Structure 1
């Protein structure tokens, strides 16, 4: 019985990380459950630190999303070896970046209480994140210089597709007075998932990349085109942000804080893979 349990854990959880084989239905559901648990734990930690959870908090953490994606690409490039490279593979990379982010938040919170720093907490966190992201960008640029497969046109193609579809969605939303997409935060989240779809589309259709997530991989195989990612993302993300906007009403402080973390998680799930895909395709790794 114990041998079967260990074999199950090895097949569905350990090997997908060790082999960087992507997702299967079992670990996908498990990681989703762990994400929900992690959100509640994070909420309690941030409340203890007396960190205000608002939209400014979400914007301040955008550089850390880039850091997570950039570190993932460093692993893709093969410059980090076993066993440290396992920390840079999904889902462990999410926990690593969350730890780094929480560490920065703790230091900033402590420094403000001791009056070591002045000004907005969110602004300070954003600046620290940008500095760390700059060092990572320099290192990624070093990898790009040494790569023979760098494709500088790829990010422009992906960005053009992203801005075109997001822009059209915004124009339609204004015409139809669809207030959800007229909200800056929801539009950012929508755009981040279109960014993800665009990077997947360009990677598969132009460069022969493969999709590792279970449902998208199935639909791409079923339809024969990565273009299916666009209607899939639009349908899913509009439904999700509508549900979040409906369930979490403004008023009760804890509901507002939990809503902030949920929106952050949704943003990360779109923006993180989008940045990783774009960097990876650009560097050819």
Structure 2
């Protein structure tokens, strides 16, 4: 099999025909994400940008931007292309976010506020797109009668686990984000007729017969990852890198979860 055939089978066709992920493209995208994260970390460190609470808050609208944009694409409000579906939309939003960060940092003294406001302005633009195309959306608020109780149980579970487990208490925001994502997947697959695109979760759901397995998968992966990160952290420089990785981990939970919830609420 030549390079073109490999690209066609494992990368192009899954996007074109909405086939979901496979082992090859999953591993490839994971490697690309890892490399990109390290490059961004090096650039931000060179610029002297610290990962404090203000910076974290400023990233929130950009996380929503990608999630909202993906849901609008599912609703055919934004035309479908390789840059508006997964994983292309991640690269597009990354370029928008990173470019905005570099420009605001260079030209504005209070760059965090400008960066934050610009992000919310972009989200506002997506909201206007939705308002001007309401005829394409069939809102399904029945989603909430499943999401709210299960999300409440999930968040209470994290709270109780944080009392007993040091890693959960120290990194509760990561567990909240990923259990939020797990809840949207569980509700979508088990109650709303959606299907899982990712390889390992799809395999585990086939075995167990329920998307509730996502809670156990998320918990296990986070615990192992956080334990290894604590074990490997030795210096203050290591801590900065680990904090950055945790930020990426948060995004990987919060953004897909928000996209899932918006998509279900929009009935697409």
Q: Match for 1:81 among 79, 82, 87?
A: 79
Deviations 1:126-148 (A, max 9, x none): 332223223323433444x3246
Tell which deviates more after alignment, 160-169 or 265-274. 160-169
Q: Say if 1:190 and 1:238, in contact at 8 Å, map to a contact too.
A: no
1:165 offset after TM fit, Å? 1.5
1:280: which partner in 2?
263
Distance 2:144 2:115 in 1: 27
* Structure 1 stretches of 4+ moved >6 Å: none
TM-score after normalising by structure 2: 0.91
TM-score after normalising by structure 1: 0.86
Structure 2: any 5+ residue segments left out of the alignment?
Answer: none
1:107: which partner in 2?
103
Q: Say if 2:143 and 2:192, in contact at 8 Å, map to a contact too.
A: no
1:164 offset after TM fit, Å? 2.2
1:98 offset after TM fit, Å? 0.8
Q: Match for 1:49 among 47, 55, 68?
A: 47
Q: Match for 1:199 among 184, 188, 191?
A: 184
1:258: which partner in 2?
241
2:119: which partner in 1?
129
1:91: which partner in 2?
87
Structure 1: any 5+ residue segments left out of the alignment?
Answer: none
1:15: which partner in 2?
13
- CA RMSD across the alignment: 2.1
Q: Residues 148 and 45 (structure 1 numbering): CA distance in 2 closer, same or farther, change over 3 Å?
A: closer
Distance 2:126 2:144 in 1: 18
Other structure's SS at 1:86 match: coil
1:40: which partner in 2?
38
